[in-house]
């Protein structure tokens, strides 16, 4: 008579040579906790037999090119190990329960012997790939250079583009709200109360005569629901602004209707007729892909990611250039400004109430300042955080500015970044562009 999950032979009280039966049972027990079984899956799905499942603890399926099922029998087994040596995902099946195991990955599983009783015990560190997890994209294909971000549905991760710069276009504001071509260099809003507008009407030509007809239609190219954000502000006084989210761009002739929703504003009607406004657009990343169900474990234990968080504080995760894995990177945030003509004494040339937390590196590493017309003497711009000086940009009889920032400066959401022109302006320094290379934190 056989008994137990291992189906060993019971020893009868009256039988002779009990040691023979005992030794055979010991052999069964030894196999159950030490043996491994190579499973050929080149022909497709495989169902393990009762004997195969009982007499092995380690199963090594291989040979399949696509996703295939490995079914285990309804026999209680507290723990067993599977190594998926295939180039595709393996499904481990018991009844209606299916668990997946990524290519070239190990997984520990358990079954209680019931019809659907299968669960994952653990996934071996360093063996499962990020793309085999249950709540992430299933492939790196076409994602080189993208970063990982929590989805807007807040139920997983997706790949998206790094958003660090902006398209900036200057327009002359018109208080007319009619849906028609505003005219060369003009921009309108759809409502008389400006911060209730749902459409921006932008001419193809900006106030400098540059043609943006090829660029404006691309403002809704993102596959995400929110295509990006427009910060519309008065060029001579950036404290007057309206921030919009963008959802669509129309196909009008000579101008474009940009469908928007107001996010924030400095007032109900911050702009006057004839004001020079700047449209600053930042594109949202594309909607990511949904990955297959996968395993669990520490991120740094995955096979295709950095093995340690050391030195990666506040960095983001990006698909590497190969692309075959993830890497830690700093994501740049680049406040920039162009000041046309010569400067006034102590002129505030730039102001930003920061929408994201970021850091300006010590020495202003990576930042640039350039003048079309060089200074004749030495003059310095003051970089300020919340009204206090944190660095300078100095022009010394040259058209290239030099940055001095004693140590890293951290800006929180809502902090004010100002750039102030020299207290005594230089007579020749003109047409200055400044770009601060910061990093989102």
> Does 102 share its domain with 52?
yes
> Does 127 share its domain with 6?
yes
What is the per-residue pLDDT for 298?
58
Inside any domain, residue 269: yes
What is the per-residue pLDDT for 2?
59
Angle 169-175-180 from CA coordinates, rounded to 5°: 75
> Does 78 share its domain with 28?
yes
Backbone CA torsion sign across 255, 260, 265, 267: positive
Backbone CA torsion sign across 158, 159, 161, 164: positive
300 SS3 class: helix
Inside any domain, residue 248: yes
β-bridge mates for residue 147, sequence order: 160, 318
> Does 361 share its domain with 415?
yes
Domain-ending residue, one of 132, 154, 182 = 132
- Lookup: tokens for 414: 């809502």
What is the per-residue pLDDT for 400?
92
> Does 193 share its domain with 236?
yes
Q: Is 17 in contact with 46 (CB distance < 8 Å)? A: no
Q: Is 263 in contact with 243 (CB distance < 8 Å)? A: yes
* Distance, CA of 440 to CA of 301 (rounded, Å): 26
Residue 376 CA from chain centroid, whole number: 46
> Does 211 share its domain with 271?
yes
What is the per-residue pLDDT for 126?
44
> Does 121 share its domain with 178?
no
Inside any domain, residue 158: no
Give me the phi and psi of 18, to 5 degrees please: -60, -30
> Does 8 share its domain with 125?
yes
Give me the phi and psi of 29, to 5 degrees please: -65, -40
Strands ordered across the beta sheet of 316-319: 157-160, 147-150, 316-319, 326-329
Inside any domain, residue 126: yes
Q: What is the CATH number of the domain that holds 109?
A: 2.60.120
Domain-ending residue, one of 283, 315, 343 = 283
What is the per-residue pLDDT for 294?
46
Q: What is the CATH number of the domain that holds 205?
A: 2.40.30
Q: What is the CATH number of the domain that holds 336?
A: 2.60.120.40
Is the link from the previous residue into 323 a cis peptide, with omega within 30 of 0? Answer: yes
What is the per-residue pLDDT for 64?
83
155 contact partners, CB below 8 Å, separation of at least 6: 135
Inside any domain, residue 300: no
Task: Tell me which residue range forms the domain holding 374.
Answer: 332-440
178 SS3 class: coil
> Does 403 share its domain with 348?
yes
Extended beta strands in 294-397, E state: 316-319, 326-329, 332-333, 336-342, 348-353, 358-360, 368-373, 378-385, 388-396
For the chain, the domain total comes to 3
Inside any domain, residue 359: yes
> Does 436 share its domain with 343?
yes
Give me the phi and psi of 150, to 5 degrees please: -70, 135
pLDDT tens track of the chain, all 441 residues?
556 666 667 777 788 887 777 777 777 777 777 899 999 999 899 999 998 998 898 999 988 878 899 999 999 998 999 988 877 888 899 999 988 887 777 888 999 989 999 988 765 544 567 776 767 777 778 777 677 766 666 666 777 765 545 678 899 999 999 999 999 999 999 999 999 999 999 999 999 888 999 889 989 888 778 888 888 998 888 788 998 989 999 999 999 999 999 988 889 999 999 999 989 887 765 555 444 444 445 566 677 777 777 777 667 787 888 888 888 887 778 888 888 888 899 999 998 888 778 899 999 999 999 999 999 999 999 999 999 999 999 999 889 999 999 999 999 888 999 999 999 989 899 999 998 988 887
Inside any domain, residue 302: no
Inside any domain, residue 138: no
* Distance, CA of 358 to CA of 373 (rounded, Å): 31
* Distance, CA of 108 to CA of 39 (rounded, Å): 17
What is the per-residue pLDDT for 440?
81
Domain-ending residue, one of 77, 111, 132 = 132
- Other beta carbons within 10 Å of 425: 17
What is the per-residue pLDDT for 441?
76
> Does 351 share its domain with 254?
no
> Does 414 share its domain with 364?
yes
What is the per-residue pLDDT for 369?
93
98 contact partners, CB below 8 Å, separation of at least 6: 69, 91, 92
């Amino acid at each position: 008579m056989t008994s137990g999950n291992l189906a060993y032979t019971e020893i009868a009280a009256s039988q002779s040579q009990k040691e023979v039966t005992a030794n055979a049972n010991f052999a069964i027990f030894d196999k159950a906790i030490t043996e491994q079984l190579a499973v050929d899956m080149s022909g497709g799905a495989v169902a393990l037999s009762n004997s195969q499942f009982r007499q092995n603890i380690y199963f090594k399926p291989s040979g399949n090119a696509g996703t295939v099922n490995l079914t285990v029998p309804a026999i209680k087994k507290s723990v067993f190990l599977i190594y998926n040596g295939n180039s595709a995902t393996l499904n481990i099946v018991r009844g209606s329960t299916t668990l997946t195991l990524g290519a070239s990955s190990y997984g520990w599983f358990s079954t209680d012997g019931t019809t659907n009783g299968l669960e994952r015990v653990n996934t071996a560190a360093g063996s499962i790939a990020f793309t085999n997890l249950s709540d992430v994209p299933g492939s790196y294909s076409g994602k080189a250079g993208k970063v990982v971000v929590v989805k807007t549905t807040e139920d997983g991760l997706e790949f998206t583009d790094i958003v660090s710069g902006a398209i900036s276009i200057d327009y002359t504001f018109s208080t007319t709200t009619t849906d028609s071509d505003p005219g060369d260099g003009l921009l309108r809003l759809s409502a008389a109360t400006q911060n209730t507008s749902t459409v921006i009407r932008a001419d193809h030509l900006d106030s400098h005569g540059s043609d943006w007809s090829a660029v404006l239609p691309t403002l809704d190219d993102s596959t995400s629901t929110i295509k990006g954000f427009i910060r519309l502000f008065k060029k001579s006084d950036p404290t007057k602004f309206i921030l919009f989210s963008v959802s669509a761009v129309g196909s009008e002739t000579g101008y474009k209707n940009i469908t928007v929703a107001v996010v924030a504003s400095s007032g109900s009607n911050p702009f006057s007729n004839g004001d020079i406004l700047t449209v600053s657009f930042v594109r949202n990343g594309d909607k990511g892909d949904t990955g297959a169900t996968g395993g669990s474990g520490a991120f740094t234990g995955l096979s295709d990611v950095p093995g340690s968080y050391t030195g990666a504080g506040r960095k983001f995760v990006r698909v590497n250039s190969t692309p075959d894995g993830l890497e830690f990177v700093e994501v740049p945030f680049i406040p920039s400004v162009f000041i046309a003509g010569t400067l006034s004494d102590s002129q505030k040339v730039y102001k930003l109430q920061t929408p994201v937390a970021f850091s300006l590196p010590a020495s202003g590493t990576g930042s640039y300042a350039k003048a079309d017309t060089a200074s004749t003497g030495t003059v310095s711009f003051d970089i300020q955080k919340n009204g206090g000086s944190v660095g300078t940009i100095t022009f010394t009889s040259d058209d290239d500015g030099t940055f001095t920032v004693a140590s890293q400066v951290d800006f929180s959401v809502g902090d004010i970044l100002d750039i102030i022109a020299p207290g005594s302006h230089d007579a020749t320094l003109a047409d200055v562009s400044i770009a601060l290379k910061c990093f989102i934190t």
